[in-house]
Amino acid sequence: NAGVTQTPKFRILKIGQSMTLQCTQDMNHNYMYWYRQDPGMGLKLIYYSVGAGITDKGEVPNGYNVSRSTTEDFPLRLELAAPSQTSVYFCASNVGLLGTGNSGANVLTFGAGSRLTVL
Amino acid sequence: GNSVTQMEGPVTLSEEAFLTINCTYTATGYPSLFWYVQYPGEGLQLLLKATKADDKGSNKGFEATYRKETTSFHLEKGSVQVSDSAVYFCALFSGGYNKLIFGAGTRLAVHP
Protein backbone atom coordinates (compact mmCIF):
# COMPACT_ATOMS: atom_id res chain seq x y z
CA ASN A 1 0.00 0.00 0.00
CA ALA A 2 1.92 3.01 -1.27
CA GLY A 3 -0.50 5.70 -0.01
CA VAL A 4 -0.11 9.01 -1.87
CA THR A 5 2.69 9.18 -4.43
CA GLN A 6 3.92 12.45 -5.93
CA THR A 7 6.33 13.00 -8.78
CA PRO A 8 8.72 14.62 -9.36
CA LYS A 9 10.34 15.29 -5.98
CA PHE A 10 12.35 18.21 -7.32
CA ARG A 11 12.08 20.38 -10.43
CA ILE A 12 13.59 23.61 -11.66
CA LEU A 13 11.64 25.57 -14.26
CA LYS A 14 12.33 28.69 -16.26
CA ILE A 15 9.79 31.51 -16.25
CA GLY A 16 7.02 30.78 -18.74
CA GLN A 17 7.57 27.03 -18.91
CA SER A 18 4.79 24.61 -18.11
CA MET A 19 4.76 21.35 -16.22
CA THR A 20 2.51 18.87 -14.45
CA LEU A 21 2.91 17.58 -10.93
CA GLN A 22 1.61 14.05 -10.70
CA CYS A 23 -0.33 12.65 -7.75
CA THR A 24 -1.63 9.10 -7.37
CA GLN A 25 -3.30 7.40 -4.43
CA ASP A 26 -4.10 3.72 -4.07
CA MET A 27 -6.50 3.92 -1.12
CA ASN A 28 -9.66 4.46 -3.16
CA HIS A 29 -10.15 7.85 -1.50
CA ASN A 30 -12.80 10.10 -2.95
CA TYR A 31 -11.31 13.40 -1.82
CA MET A 32 -8.00 14.74 -3.05
CA TYR A 33 -6.23 18.04 -2.47
CA TRP A 34 -3.30 20.10 -3.63
CA TYR A 35 -1.57 22.38 -1.13
CA ARG A 36 1.44 24.63 -1.43
CA GLN A 37 3.76 25.28 1.46
CA ASP A 38 5.67 28.52 1.59
CA PRO A 39 8.20 29.24 4.35
CA GLY A 40 6.52 30.60 7.46
CA MET A 41 3.13 30.61 5.76
CA GLY A 42 1.74 27.18 6.50
CA LEU A 43 -0.17 25.32 3.83
CA LYS A 44 -2.54 26.95 1.38
CA LEU A 45 -5.16 24.98 -0.54
CA ILE A 46 -4.85 25.31 -4.30
CA TYR A 47 -7.53 22.94 -5.64
CA TYR A 48 -9.48 20.01 -4.36
CA SER A 49 -11.67 17.26 -5.74
CA VAL A 50 -14.54 15.34 -4.17
CA GLY A 51 -14.52 12.58 -6.78
CA ALA A 52 -13.70 11.70 -10.36
CA GLY A 53 -14.84 14.45 -12.71
CA ILE A 54 -15.38 17.01 -9.92
CA THR A 55 -12.88 19.70 -8.97
CA ASP A 56 -13.10 23.04 -7.21
CA LYS A 57 -10.88 25.97 -6.37
CA GLY A 58 -9.25 26.46 -3.02
CA GLU A 59 -7.67 29.58 -1.57
CA VAL A 60 -4.91 30.17 -4.15
CA PRO A 61 -5.93 28.64 -7.52
CA ASN A 62 -4.55 31.32 -9.87
CA GLY A 63 -1.88 30.01 -12.22
CA TYR A 64 -2.87 26.36 -11.76
CA ASN A 65 -5.22 23.84 -13.30
CA VAL A 66 -6.31 20.38 -12.25
CA SER A 67 -8.23 17.44 -13.60
CA ARG A 68 -9.64 14.28 -12.04
CA SER A 69 -10.37 11.71 -14.69
CA THR A 70 -9.95 8.75 -12.32
CA THR A 71 -10.32 8.19 -8.59
CA GLU A 72 -6.60 7.50 -8.29
CA ASP A 73 -5.04 10.45 -10.11
CA PHE A 74 -5.14 14.19 -9.47
CA PRO A 75 -2.49 16.03 -11.51
CA LEU A 76 -1.70 19.70 -10.98
CA ARG A 77 -0.66 21.74 -14.01
CA LEU A 78 1.29 24.97 -14.11
CA GLU A 79 0.78 26.61 -17.50
CA LEU A 80 3.11 29.63 -17.35
CA ALA A 81 5.50 29.25 -14.47
CA ALA A 82 6.27 32.35 -12.44
CA PRO A 83 8.78 32.91 -9.62
CA SER A 84 5.84 33.31 -7.22
CA GLN A 85 5.08 29.64 -7.78
CA THR A 86 8.37 28.58 -6.22
CA SER A 87 7.16 26.42 -3.34
CA VAL A 88 6.79 22.92 -2.00
CA TYR A 89 3.62 21.25 -3.24
CA PHE A 90 1.77 18.56 -1.35
CA CYS A 91 -0.95 16.28 -2.58
CA ALA A 92 -3.29 14.74 -0.02
CA SER A 93 -6.35 12.54 0.10
CA ASN A 94 -9.02 11.38 2.49
CA VAL A 95 -11.88 8.96 2.35
CA GLY A 96 -14.77 11.32 2.86
CA LEU A 97 -16.12 14.40 4.50
CA LEU A 98 -14.02 15.74 7.30
CA GLY A 99 -15.87 16.17 10.54
CA THR A 100 -18.21 13.23 10.05
CA GLY A 101 -18.60 10.44 12.56
CA ASN A 102 -16.27 8.20 10.57
CA SER A 103 -12.96 8.82 12.32
CA GLY A 104 -11.05 7.82 9.23
CA ALA A 105 -12.70 10.58 7.27
CA ASN A 106 -10.93 13.15 9.43
CA VAL A 107 -7.46 12.04 8.47
CA LEU A 108 -5.63 13.41 5.46
CA THR A 109 -2.88 11.27 3.98
CA PHE A 110 -0.12 13.38 2.42
CA GLY A 111 2.42 12.68 -0.24
CA ALA A 112 6.11 13.39 0.39
CA GLY A 113 6.00 16.68 -1.51
CA SER A 114 7.39 18.18 -4.70
CA ARG A 115 9.85 21.06 -4.46
CA LEU A 116 9.50 23.43 -7.41
CA THR A 117 11.83 26.31 -8.17
CA VAL A 118 11.04 28.84 -10.91
CA LEU A 119 13.97 30.95 -12.08
CA GLY B 1 -12.74 34.06 8.43
CA ASN B 2 -11.40 30.95 10.06
CA SER B 3 -7.73 30.99 10.96
CA VAL B 4 -5.07 29.31 13.04
CA THR B 5 -2.19 31.03 14.81
CA GLN B 6 0.84 29.16 16.10
CA MET B 7 3.82 30.30 18.09
CA GLU B 8 6.80 31.11 15.93
CA GLY B 9 9.77 28.83 15.90
CA PRO B 10 12.22 27.47 15.90
CA VAL B 11 11.88 25.90 19.31
CA THR B 12 15.15 24.42 20.49
CA LEU B 13 15.17 22.02 23.46
CA SER B 14 17.45 19.55 25.12
CA GLU B 15 16.41 15.93 25.26
CA GLU B 16 13.93 15.14 28.07
CA ALA B 17 12.79 18.77 28.31
CA PHE B 18 9.10 19.71 28.50
CA LEU B 19 7.52 20.95 25.28
CA THR B 20 4.66 23.35 24.71
CA ILE B 21 3.71 24.68 21.29
CA ASN B 22 0.90 27.20 21.45
CA CYS B 23 -1.99 27.20 19.02
CA THR B 24 -5.06 29.44 18.99
CA TYR B 25 -7.82 29.55 16.47
CA THR B 26 -10.62 31.73 15.15
CA ALA B 27 -13.67 29.94 13.82
CA THR B 28 -17.43 30.00 13.80
CA GLY B 29 -19.23 27.10 15.33
CA TYR B 30 -17.40 24.09 16.70
CA PRO B 31 -14.48 23.12 14.50
CA SER B 32 -12.47 19.91 14.79
CA LEU B 33 -8.84 20.56 15.69
CA PHE B 34 -5.71 18.71 14.63
CA TRP B 35 -1.97 18.57 15.06
CA TYR B 36 0.02 17.33 12.08
CA VAL B 37 3.76 16.60 12.11
CA GLN B 38 6.21 16.82 9.23
CA TYR B 39 9.49 14.95 9.64
CA PRO B 40 12.42 16.02 7.45
CA GLY B 41 11.90 15.13 3.81
CA GLU B 42 8.43 13.71 4.38
CA GLY B 43 4.83 14.78 3.97
CA LEU B 44 2.57 15.74 6.84
CA GLN B 45 1.02 13.06 9.00
CA LEU B 46 -1.68 13.26 11.60
CA LEU B 47 -0.35 13.38 15.16
CA LEU B 48 -3.56 13.83 17.13
CA LYS B 49 -7.00 15.36 16.95
CA ALA B 50 -9.97 16.52 19.03
CA THR B 51 -13.47 16.95 17.72
CA LYS B 52 -15.29 18.76 20.54
CA ALA B 53 -14.68 21.04 23.47
CA ASP B 54 -12.70 19.55 26.39
CA ASP B 55 -11.61 16.57 24.30
CA LYS B 56 -7.97 15.58 24.77
CA GLY B 57 -6.13 14.14 21.81
CA SER B 58 -3.01 12.08 22.50
CA ASN B 59 -0.44 10.09 20.57
CA LYS B 60 3.25 9.16 20.97
CA GLY B 61 3.40 10.99 24.31
CA PHE B 62 1.99 14.21 22.85
CA GLU B 63 -1.24 15.70 24.16
CA ALA B 64 -3.50 18.62 23.31
CA THR B 65 -6.78 19.68 24.89
CA TYR B 66 -9.53 21.47 22.99
CA ARG B 67 -10.26 24.62 25.03
CA LYS B 68 -13.22 26.48 23.62
CA GLU B 69 -13.18 29.17 26.30
CA THR B 70 -9.68 30.23 25.27
CA THR B 71 -9.96 29.02 21.63
CA SER B 72 -6.73 27.10 22.08
CA PHE B 73 -5.28 23.68 21.29
CA HIS B 74 -1.75 23.75 22.71
CA LEU B 75 0.53 20.80 22.03
CA GLU B 76 2.49 19.38 24.98
CA LYS B 77 4.93 16.59 25.66
CA GLY B 78 6.52 15.85 28.99
CA SER B 79 9.89 14.61 27.77
CA VAL B 80 11.00 15.20 24.20
CA GLN B 81 13.43 13.03 22.27
CA VAL B 82 15.79 13.81 19.42
CA SER B 83 13.44 11.86 17.16
CA ASP B 84 10.70 14.43 17.84
CA SER B 85 12.60 17.02 15.81
CA ALA B 86 10.15 18.05 13.10
CA VAL B 87 7.75 20.78 12.04
CA TYR B 88 4.41 20.77 13.83
CA PHE B 89 1.25 22.19 12.28
CA CYS B 90 -1.95 23.06 14.07
CA ALA B 91 -5.06 22.87 11.88
CA LEU B 92 -8.82 23.17 12.02
CA PHE B 93 -11.53 21.72 9.87
CA SER B 94 -13.52 24.36 8.06
CA GLY B 95 -17.05 23.18 7.65
CA GLY B 96 -18.71 23.76 4.31
CA TYR B 97 -15.53 23.45 2.29
CA ASN B 98 -14.28 20.10 3.53
CA LYS B 99 -10.79 21.43 3.98
CA LEU B 100 -8.22 21.93 6.68
CA ILE B 101 -6.90 25.38 7.55
CA PHE B 102 -3.30 25.20 8.71
CA GLY B 103 -1.19 27.34 10.95
CA ALA B 104 2.25 28.45 9.76
CA GLY B 105 4.02 25.55 11.46
CA THR B 106 6.52 25.47 14.32
CA ARG B 107 9.91 23.89 13.85
CA LEU B 108 11.18 21.88 16.84
CA ALA B 109 14.83 20.95 17.20
CA VAL B 110 15.79 18.60 20.04
CA HIS B 111 19.47 18.22 20.93
CA PRO B 112 21.04 15.35 22.89
Give the model confidence (pLDDT) of A36-51 as tens digits. Answer: 998 767 889 999 998 9
With CA atoms as reference, report the closest residue to A33 among A10, A55, A52: A55
Q: What is the pLDDT of residue A89?
A: 96
Q: Which chain B residues have a beta carbon less than 8 Å from that of A41? A: 104
Q: What is the pLDDT of residue A97?
A: 59
Query: How many angstroms separate the Cα of A17 from the Cα of each of A21, A80, A82, B19?
Result: 13, 5, 8, 45
Which of B28, B100, B107 best tests the A interface by mutation, with the highest count of A CBs <10 A? B100
Counting one residue from A and one from B, how many pairs have CB atoms under 8 Å apart?
A: 57
Give the model confidence (pLDDT) of B67-81 as tens digits. Answer: 999 999 999 999 999
Q: How far apart are CA B6 and CA B23, in angstroms?
A: 5
Q: What is the pLDDT of residue A103?
A: 53
The arithmetic mean of pLDDT across residues B1-9, rounded, is 87
Q: What SS3 class is residue B84?
A: helix
The arithmetic mean of pLDDT across residues A3-7, rounded, is 94
